[in-house]
Structure 1
Amino acid sequence: MTQEQVRLAENKAGTAPWQKFGPYLTERQWGTVREDYSPDGNAWGHVTHDMARSYAYRWGEEGLGGFSDDQQLLCFGVGLWNGHDPCLKERLFGLTNGQGNHGEDVKECYYYLDSTPTHAYQKMLYKYPQRRFPYERLLAENARRGRQEAEYELLDTGIFSQGRYFDVFIEYAKAGPDDLLVQLTVHNRGPKTAPLQVLPQLWFRNTWSWGYDGYRPKLHSNGPATVQAEHRDLGRYHLYCADSPKLLFCDNETNGARLYDLEAPEGHYFKDGINDYIVAGDQAAVNPAQQGTKVAAHYSLTLAPGASQRVCLRLSKAELAEPFADFDQLFAQRLGEADAFFNCLQETQPDPDARNIYRQAVAGMLWSKQFYYYDVTQWLDGDPAVDLPPAERRRARNSNWQHLHNADLISMPDKWEYPWYAAWDLAFHCIPLAVVDSEFAKNQLRLLTRDWYMHPNGQLPAYEWNFGDVNPPVHAWATWRVYKMDQKLNDGRGDTEFLESVFHRLMLNFTWWVNRKDRNNHNIFEGGFLGLDNIGVFDRSAPLPTGGYIEQADGTSWMAMYALNLMRIALELAKTNPVYQDIAGKFFEHFLYIAEAMTRAGDGSFNLWDEEDQFFYDVLHLPDDERIKLKVRSIVGLIPLFAVEVLDEELLEAMPAFTQRLRWLLDNRPQLSALVSRWQEPGKGERHLLSLLRRHRLEKLLRRMLDETEFLSDYGIRALSRHHLEHPYVYNTPEADFEVRYEPGESNSDLFGGNSNWRGPVWFPINYLIIEALQRFHFYYGDTLTVEYPTGSGQYLNLNGVANALAERLTGIFRRDTEGRRPAFGHDELLQRDPHFRDYLLFHEYFHGDDGHGLGASHQTGWTALVIRLLQPLAPIGGAVERPMPAKPELEPSGR
């Protein structure tokens, strides 16, 4: 057991709270729904980037490379000033929804490089220009560009040319749960000597200005270059600053004079006081009494070309006579322990490039934890000490989620672009999280099913902008996968208490879906948005311009998958409690009726499978009862692959009540029995297959999916078939024509607005589910089923071989090719060749369908970190061959 694993065990046992402090600040609190108290719900405009340095937040704190305790009471972050910028660099800049030509987008250059799950060692890199940061140019150029043009990025401005920037490495190491070492290492990459002001900052989140509790914690100078932090809940901490910097104090309170033209009270020192002291030279902006609720240690550095300098600090509960005596030794020790931890995880991976990708992907996951605080009732009502919100807020977004009270550590999709959780994102996050910290992954899955998250009607909260929207129901899938991964880590001992607790809550959610999203009780589901943005003909979350509604192939398939997931969990629980056999039978029956509906929708006169095209389509059900297939070849038609489960004879023999119910249904409902793929014929090793696809349809669907002129790209499966490049789908109405055309990256349509700007790229979560489904089909069929890969090549692989080949294409997005280039970097030569860029990775939201370069949110490591499950050495497939290759045997399919 490595030392990091020991710390995880101590944290789990409660003997040492190693995760009390971590990277729990967001990268952006401004422009969020929580901080929006406007009458029109314009969150991006209510608190802007320019206002942020002067505005005391109500619900959370942001910081550059920030750390805090797990309730975000005491916060630490980094401030920088190059002598040219109009304000301190204390937070990341980006464009709002209305400013970007493809929606909101961070315009900074930063990388999460390393982290252990207890945050005993952590490292990130921020690249800070030496010249004035191009705020105005980024705003103006992106405003000028339309949807047809690429986004104008920070790298495009030339601000990093000739190496005229500082690399600022921010590192943390823990001597103990309450003893945090901070090391800031600054490198001058430019050709000339350059000055830099470095301002590490410590502050308390403002909990005293809202009228509930007037208690005010305190920071004050307590000796040379030492700050004492006192909080009634946290106790007393000491910030020790090496090399005797000057201490600058102010208060974490709103500067009403600057923001709202109010009269400034005498003797007040506002949140922007340190900024005004450094940038504007305002000596009166900081408190001469050396006390407040925010403090900065002021270091003035001058770096020669190629030189580096360190700034060292220590935040500790202990009073230390020599806080830096063991500083270097502790840092080296924690880094060595991090190396040992990752060597243990990657002991079978010989490729150093793959190991680097793996480690940075994990780092992105762990740096993206955030303390998320939002009480919807208080937010709607307003606070006693603040003017009441406008009456419009009572009818505004989330007004029917007044039970929701969140104050927890949650894995974020992207702490700048998506600094709020999303239900289905979080489910995917838990798979890579479980690799390094299965306890945290399990707690994340529990969290969304708690009473103070889940709606009383059983709905899971979607995301902050609209909790009532609908995400695909993948929570049960993630729960089962994390349970199995955790079971393997614990030598076969499964955490059935976790499994059972989440299962009971998910039954409520399944019932919500059945009652709310099956309009005609025909087992055909809607669901609306379901995460698919611009991929469809219409906005499925809005009233249709044609009237009527859409019978969704993906919504129905997700529910078939959900039923099978819950059935499988129930069978696991039935091993120790036979009562669950009846519940497993219930979900088996649900699956059968959904399977029937997929082929004979509703009244039996129509179905979602198109025999001519060999594909599944959404169906538009018009008010006059006419049904029209919306023949868009997209991942909507591939999602039926995911509803697949394999049961072996041994399990059935151990479940007599379940088996009896199962056989009664199949014997007495022949129309259902015929829809279950090859139930009467055991497969490899006396296994039985439950799937929406018979062998014939499976082969036809895979033939289209694996066609390089359609879905298969060099980098995985596209979200939209390339067929629609030359043959766009058009739906005509008297008022307008609606067109869907293949676009490999950013969409030219703003039909859905905001960041809904993709159409045909490669998307990791869907690709991961495709790979997992192929493995499960192979678990049943073995080598008896081979398919042409790629379609038209004359080369055949079994389904496990296809799964491995897809995994290689996906991991190839990040790997260096034979010329040393990474597809994820696109055509940017600085990223591809410069030694200070080429090995630092970003894990984008999605990837260009033709060349693989990263698009969308640049730090959405969450679901893209699924790459670490594909980076383990793959089962040998022997290359593409003319005959089937034997696959590596598996005891049970479980993804990778």
Structure 2
Amino acid sequence: MDPERQRQAEQRRRERRWDLFGPYLAERAWATVREDYSENGDVWRYFPHDHARSRAYRWNEDGLLGFSDDHQRLCFALALWNERDPILKERLFGVTGPQGNHGEDVKEVYFYLDNTPTHSYMRALYKYPQAAYPYERLLAESARRSRTEPEFELVDAGVFDEGRYFDVFVEYAKAGPTDILIRITAHNRGPEPAPLHLLPTLWFRNTWAWSGDPRVPSLTPIDRPDGLPAIVAEHRELGELWFVADAAGELLFTDNETNAARLWGAENRTAHVKDAFHRHVVDREPGVLAADGTKSAVHLRAVVAPGASWTVRLRLSQKTESPQCPSEPVAGPGFAPFAEFDAVMQARRAEADTFYDGVRAHMTDDERQVFRQAIAGLLWSKQFYHYIVRDWLAGDPAQPPPPRERASGRNVDWKHLYNHHVMSMPDTWEYPWYAAWDLAFHCLPLALVDPEFAKAQLDLLTREWFLHPNGAMPAYEWNFSDVNPPVFAWATWRVYKIEQRHGGHGDRAFLEAMFHKLLLHFTWWVNRKDSAGKNIFQGGFLGLDNIGVFDRSAGLPRGGVLEQSDATAWMGMFSLNMMTIALELAQGNPVYEKIASKFFEHFLSIADAMNNLGGEGIGLWDDQDEFFYDVLHLPDGRALRLRARSLVGLIPLLAVETVEPLLLEQMPGFRHRLEWFLAHRPDLARLVSRWYEPGAGERRLLALVRGSRMKRLLRRMLDPKEFLSDYGVRSLSKIHATEPYRLHIDGSTLSIGYEPGESRTGLFGGNSNWRGPVWFPINYLIIEALQKFHHYYSDDFRVECPTGSGNYMSIREIADELSRRLTRLFLPDARGRRPYAGDDPRQRDPHWREHLQFHEYFHGDTGQGLGASHQTGWTALVAKLLLQQCPKADDDH
């Protein structure tokens, strides 16, 4: 067992808490729902970036490429100054929703380069301009640009021209669970010497001001015989930790308290406030520092020659973690904290190499690089998330009460929700909050390297302090009541199978516990989202934001009811997922055979409604267009198919499962109940399930779309003139570029057209776009569905791919082709160009080309990365695709 897996085993056995400290510090806590105590819920204006340096946070902290403990009591991050910026660079800057022409957008350049599951080694890069950071220009240009223009990014401002910037690398290595080595290296890439101030900052999250708790932690300077700057941190729960730097510098202290005088002209609660270091270093204001406090830094300065670098080493440790002197702290007089520093750092990096070599066997060097950085971004996006809704609604004892509007406002129905955990976030700046369906996708690549954390995340969202008593799952902090696609049963099954395949066993206790909680969620869907009781579902926007001609979660035109192709298909898929899990559990407990039968019956009822086999009204399937559409039912009795050709009509492909003949032999009770049901409903057996037509290996197929209908859907999906891009399946058919869909209703016209890049509408803040770009999560599910279809149909069933090419492939070959198109986004082509990076000339620069970003979505024609630049969460599925493409990869379905 390699050292990293040994650490994981120690953690699993609860012998050592290797996960106590990690990258749990967000890149943004300002302008979040948690910090909003306004009357009108205007998050972005209530807590702007300009307040962040002066205003103590209530719920979460943020910082630049930092870390914290798992309850964010003690935090560490970088702070920088180039002697030109108007403020210290303590956190990442970006435009908020109203400021950006495409919604929120971080305006910085940074990369997550490496990380291990126990965070024993972490590495990241921040590119810091030597010119003044163009705050005002970024705001002004973003405000000037329309939605039809691209976003104005930091690189567009010219601040990186001629290499006039610092590459600031930060590395963390653990000598023990609470013994953390920190190395910061700044490279001057420019042609001239340049000054740089480095302020490694250690502070406590303010947990005392809100409750009036008198037990305030402390940071105090201590003397060392060698003169190195050192600090002792004391906290009632963490104990005593010591922090020391290897270079002489000025120790700075203040309190993590709000500067109310600066912000509102009010009296400050304490004499020393949060922004003291900025005022001391940048403004040179005297008398702002304290002798000790709850926020501290070591102030270091150097002039770095062109092409040269400057390295600073630091160490944070408890007394018991010193490997040389177990009873003495690293700042103690008898211990040299940097004697073995470089050796430990080198060892942890080598152990990370060994760990990943064991996961990525048989990949090319380029594929290995993409895999490792994708996983690194996923692990760096583990964040401490704190939001106790009842307390947020009621207000804090030591603070003024919140506005009256809060009592009937956002998330008032989620008083049970108690968020106080490390969670997998979509993005640490643009989405510094969990989203339920995003998290489900995160768990697949996480399971490749840390199945325990992946299982814990799925379990967490279904625990009683997350799952609503009525069975609803919290969507995201802006509105926990929004509805996300029900993919947790799918993720649960996939994580179980991944661990079984790669770890040698499946965790049945986890599977069984999840199954029972998912029963509650399934029941909520059936009772709340099937308004007419016809097995046709209405889920709202379902995570696809602006994919509809109108906001599917808002009031519908003329008060109608929208029967959704995607919602109904998701429920078909949910039914099959639950049936599959029940059949697995039935191998150890025959009681689950009966439950599996119930989900089989439920699936067929949904399939009947989906295909309009009952003959009632207008169906979701359109024979003329050979496609599935949403249907809008109006109060006057009319029903309108919304003929926008989108992923909404392809999602029915995802509801597919095969049943092995051996399983039927082992479970005669299940087989008997199925055959009885099918004997009484031969229409469903013949038209939907193909139950009496065994496929490859005598398998049975359950699917919402049968062979001929599947071929017709695939003909559209694989058509380059419609859905098939060089980089995956588009979210909207390209035919709508020249033929926009228009809905004429109530004297007005609503329309939707093909938009391959960033959103041109303001729906859902304009942040994301499902009207043409390629998105990883649905593409991944399509690939899995095709693999399952191939299990049944084998190589004999062939489909033209691309449509119109005359080239026919098996369904498995089509799945493999889609997988290659997606991974191609990140792999260098013959010219060394990575499609996701567009035509950026920096792809030829050795200081840029090997550092990757994993975007939220990708241009439907060019593959350029768009949206959140670090949404490695579900885009990290590229790691799973790369692993599946390996020559010796096995199927872990």
Shift of 1:870: 1.2
Residues 47-58 of structure 1 aligned to structure 2 (within 5 Å): 47-58=47-58
* Distance 1:682-1:602 versus aligned 2 partners, 3 A rule: closer
- Aligned partner of residue 76 in structure 1, secondary structure: strand
Bigger CA drift: 529-538 or 466-475? 529-538
- Aligned partner of residue 203 in structure 2, secondary structure: strand
Q: 2:241 aligns with which of 231, 237, 251?
A: 237
How far apart are the structure 2 equivalents of 1:643 and 1:150?
37
Match of 2:554 in 1: 542
Match of 2:390 in 1: 377
Q: TM-score, normalised by structure 2?
A: 0.97
Shift of 1:65: 0.7
Shift of 1:875: 7.0
Answer yes or no: is the 8 Å Cα contact 1:524–1:601 preserved in 2.
Answer: no
Match of 2:426 in 1: 413
- Aligned partner of residue 347 in structure 2, secondary structure: helix
Q: 1:865 aligns with which of 862, 876, 893?
A: 876
* Distance 1:400-1:603 versus aligned 2 partners, 3 A rule: farther
Shift of 1:260: 1.2
Answer yes or no: is the 8 Å Cα contact 2:608–2:614 preserved in 1.
Answer: no
Gaps of 5+ in 2: 320-328
The residue type equivalent to 1:55 in the other structure is: R
Match of 1:107 in 2: 107
- Aligned partner of residue 309 in structure 1, secondary structure: strand
Match of 2:15 in 1: 15
Residues 2-81 of structure 1 aligned to structure 2 (within 5 Å): 2-81=2-81
Residues 346-385 of structure 1 aligned to structure 2 (within 5 Å): 346-349=360-363, 351-385=364-398
Match of 1:456 in 2: 469
Shift of 1:751: 3.5
Residues 752-831 of structure 1 aligned to structure 2 (within 5 Å): 752-830=764-842
How far apart are the structure 2 equivalents of 1:315 and 1:157?
38
Match of 2:257 in 1: 253
For the pair 1:484 / 2:536, whether they are aligned, the reply is: no
Match of 1:571 in 2: 583
How far apart are the structure 1 equivalents of 2:673 and 2:423?
40
Match of 2:298 in 1: 297
Answer yes or no: is the 8 Å Cα contact 1:713–1:849 preserved in 2.
Answer: yes
For the pair 1:162 / 2:162, whether they are aligned, the reply is: yes
How far apart are the structure 1 equivalents of 2:102 and 2:762?
8
How far apart are the structure 1 equivalents of 2:759 and 2:687?
38
Shift of 1:139: 0.2
Answer yes or no: is the 8 Å Cα contact 1:411–1:421 preserved in 2.
Answer: yes
Shift of 1:602: 7.1
Superimposed CA distance per residue, residues 853-878 of structure 1 (whole angstroms, 9 cap, x where no aligned partner): 000011000000000111136377xx
The residue type equivalent to 2:81 in the other structure is: W
The residue type equivalent to 2:53 in the other structure is: R
Residues 189-204 of structure 1 aligned to structure 2 (within 5 Å): 189-204=189-204
Shift of 1:655: 1.3
Shift of 1:212: 5.4
How far apart are the structure 2 equivalents of 1:484 and 1:261?
59
Answer yes or no: is the 8 Å Cα contact 2:258–2:268 preserved in 1.
Answer: no
Answer yes or no: is the 8 Å Cα contact 2:760–2:766 preserved in 1.
Answer: no
Q: 2:444 aligns with which of 411, 431, 444?
A: 431
Shift of 1:676: 2.3
How far apart are the structure 2 equivalents of 1:466 and 1:228?
41
Answer yes or no: is the 8 Å Cα contact 1:596–1:675 preserved in 2.
Answer: no
Superimposed CA distance per residue, residues 437-480 of structure 1 (whole angstroms, 9 cap, x where no aligned partner): 00000000000000000100000000000000000000000000
For the pair 1:834 / 2:845, whether they are aligned, the reply is: yes
Shift of 1:403: 0.3
Match of 2:325 in 1: none
Q: 2:289 aligns with which of 286, 290, 294?
A: 286
- Aligned partner of residue 384 in structure 1, secondary structure: coil
For the pair 1:494 / 2:497, whether they are aligned, the reply is: no
Answer yes or no: is the 8 Å Cα contact 1:79–1:200 preserved in 2.
Answer: yes
Match of 1:844 in 2: 855
How far apart are the structure 1 equivalents of 2:120 and 2:223?
28
How far apart are the structure 1 equivalents of 2:763 and 2:374?
32
The residue type equivalent to 2:423 in the other structure is: I
How far apart are the structure 1 equivalents of 2:133 and 2:763?
33
Superimposed CA distance per residue, residues 139-170 of structure 1 (whole angstroms, 9 cap, x where no aligned partner): 00010011111111111111100001000001
Shift of 1:664: 1.1
Match of 2:414 in 1: 401
Match of 2:323 in 1: none
Shift of 1:822: 0.8
The residue type equivalent to 2:836 in the other structure is: A
For the pair 1:391 / 2:394, whether they are aligned, the reply is: no
- Aligned partner of residue 687 in structure 2, secondary structure: coil
How far apart are the structure 2 equivalents of 1:312 and 1:875?
39
Answer yes or no: is the 8 Å Cα contact 2:255–2:293 preserved in 1.
Answer: yes
* Distance 1:749-1:264 versus aligned 2 partners, 3 A rule: closer
Q: 1:328 aligns with which of 342, 346, 356?
A: 342
Answer yes or no: is the 8 Å Cα contact 1:98–1:754 preserved in 2.
Answer: no
Shift of 1:679: 1.0
Match of 1:884 in 2: none
Answer yes or no: is the 8 Å Cα contact 1:113–1:840 preserved in 2.
Answer: yes
* Distance 1:293-1:601 versus aligned 2 partners, 3 A rule: farther
Match of 1:691 in 2: 703
The residue type equivalent to 1:483 in the other structure is: Y
Q: 2:753 aligns with which of 723, 741, 750?
A: 741
Shift of 1:754: 3.9
Shift of 1:33: 0.4
- Aligned partner of residue 358 in structure 1, secondary structure: helix
* Distance 1:671-1:624 versus aligned 2 partners, 3 A rule: farther
Aligned length: 876
Answer yes or no: is the 8 Å Cα contact 1:745–1:758 preserved in 2.
Answer: no
Match of 2:185 in 1: 185
Gaps of 5+ in 1: 877-887
Answer yes or no: is the 8 Å Cα contact 1:247–1:297 preserved in 2.
Answer: yes
* Distance 1:893-1:344 versus aligned 2 partners, 3 A rule: closer
Answer yes or no: is the 8 Å Cα contact 1:779–1:893 preserved in 2.
Answer: no
Answer yes or no: is the 8 Å Cα contact 2:280–2:289 preserved in 1.
Answer: yes
Match of 1:880 in 2: none
* Distance 1:263-1:893 versus aligned 2 partners, 3 A rule: closer
Answer yes or no: is the 8 Å Cα contact 2:437–2:485 preserved in 1.
Answer: yes
* Distance 1:363-1:889 versus aligned 2 partners, 3 A rule: closer
Q: TM-score, normalised by structure 1?
A: 0.97
For the pair 1:629 / 2:641, whether they are aligned, the reply is: yes
Answer yes or no: is the 8 Å Cα contact 1:678–1:689 preserved in 2.
Answer: yes
How far apart are the structure 1 equivalents of 2:614 and 2:642?
17
Match of 1:594 in 2: 606
How far apart are the structure 1 equivalents of 2:557 and 2:626?
28
How far apart are the structure 2 equivalents of 1:840 and 1:758?
27
Match of 1:580 in 2: 592
Shift of 1:735: 3.5
Match of 1:612 in 2: 624
How far apart are the structure 1 equivalents of 2:405 and 2:855?
37
The residue type equivalent to 1:311 in the other structure is: V
How far apart are the structure 2 equivalents of 1:553 and 1:121?
45
How far apart are the structure 2 equivalents of 1:433 and 1:94?
28
* Distance 1:174-1:719 versus aligned 2 partners, 3 A rule: same
How far apart are the structure 1 equivalents of 2:565 and 2:317?
56
Shift of 1:603: 5.9
- Aligned partner of residue 408 in structure 1, secondary structure: strand
How far apart are the structure 2 equivalents of 1:248 and 1:865?
39
Answer yes or no: is the 8 Å Cα contact 1:195–1:303 preserved in 2.
Answer: yes
